[in-house]
Amino acid sequence: MKILIKNGTVIIDGCRRIENGAVLVDDQKIVGVYKDYQNIDCDRAIDVQNHYIMPGFIETHTHGDLGFDFNNCQMSDIYKISDALLDEGVTCFMASLTCENHEYMLNLLDEYEKCNVHNLLGVHLEGPFLSQEMPGVMKIESLMLPQIDIFDEYLQHCSKIKSMTIAPELDHALELIQHGHNKGIVMNIGHSNASASQVMEAQSYGAKGITHLYNAMSQHLHRNPGVVTGAFLSDLYCELIVDKFHIHEDVIQATYRAIGKNRIVLICDANPCKGLKDGIYEFSGKEIEIIDGKARVKETGRIAGSTLRLNQACRHMREICGCSMEDVVQMVTVNPAQMYGLNKGKIEVGYDGDIVVVNDQFDVLAVVNDGEIQKMSL
């Protein structure tokens, strides 16, 4: 079906826009981008009433939704997560898995190998090769030193593995980063007590990004520069949780000024309780309490992921930094698509037919996903 999304400001990518433009989607692909869209042949036209037409949002780091945890939910529940994410403009996502014991993880990866949810980009392994000094909410008993044979065993069980978070200061981590990079896996630095120089060395071995910058890592200290300093010095992509809770607004603004829109990747790092009311829940083997949408481990008070929606992260970024709509699109679609080598993230002929329509507050008004209308409130 040919769908024409018209009469809106088309944000093509992080630099370009077309005022009063239109986009034509057919057979799951973008087949036309127009300034003059009169007499365009289509089966369905969506008049977006002068709102914004953008590429579908890409969520590369989330642990679940609506009480469904990627570590233990049924594969059929991932359809429910996928549908819920459409409400926030997310047209594709990664399933981030927290650390488990080896046998459990292999069985879990076997399940993901059989998963055929079309919006699922793949699996992100957040560990187990992480620093015991920076575990966050990870199960410390499941952390281990990097081992290439274990990593290869993961890949043998699941071809859908697309990324891994690893602490580069650990013994044999650099060899594993290089090994993973050469196999096409995006290797990200996180849950790490590395120095800035170790971050730079990891980049030279093939590391591509920083997992949730500032959280669960060594900081930017003037006599002891850590992962955060390394992020500033490097060319790595940097995930950012912009929920006004994980990171102070001044630091978000400083980060935007320091590293710019071309390296920030907006994420939610949502815990599985996102979308549920305040209360007591379980995540990564710990009892967490959500109060006013803020999640903490009940016993320690440690932050336990977010309940953030990705369209909210976009709105917050614009409010805090005063950046343009194009800048936000760069951070929520272009950068993650480039990072993971996806045919997505821009409104260009030949790109996947994932389109989201939003107002200036990033409220989602319509979603065209994989060439089909999935959400409509215009």
Annotated binding site for substrate: 137, 215-216, 223, 246, 303-305
Contact 346, 31 (CB under 8 A): no
Helix axes 148-157, 173-182, angle to 10 degrees: 30
- Calculated CA dihedral for residues 204, 247, 69, 210, nearest 10 degrees: 0
* Integer CA distances (angstroms), 318 to 21, 308, 309, 327, 331, in order: 23, 15, 15, 9, 11
Compute the distance between CA of residue 289 and CA of residue 140 in angstroms, rounded to an integer.
Answer: 20
Contact 348, 25 (CB under 8 A): no
Residues 6+ apart with CB under 8 A from 184: none
| 36 carries an active-site annotation | no
Contact 218, 134 (CB under 8 A): yes
The token pair that represents 349 in the structure block: 């002929």
Annotation: binding site = 126, 137, 191, 212, 215-216, 223, 246, 303-305
Count the Cβ atoms, other than its own, within 10 Å of residue 36: 9
Return the exposure string of 108-143: e unless at least 16 CB atoms fall within 10 Å of the residue's CB, then b. Answer: bbeebeebebebbbbbbbbbbbbbeebbbbbbeebb
The token pair that represents 337 in the structure block: 């698509």
Catalytic position from the list 13, 65, 269, 327: 269
Annotation: binding site for Zn(2+) = 126, 191, 212
Catalytic residues: 269
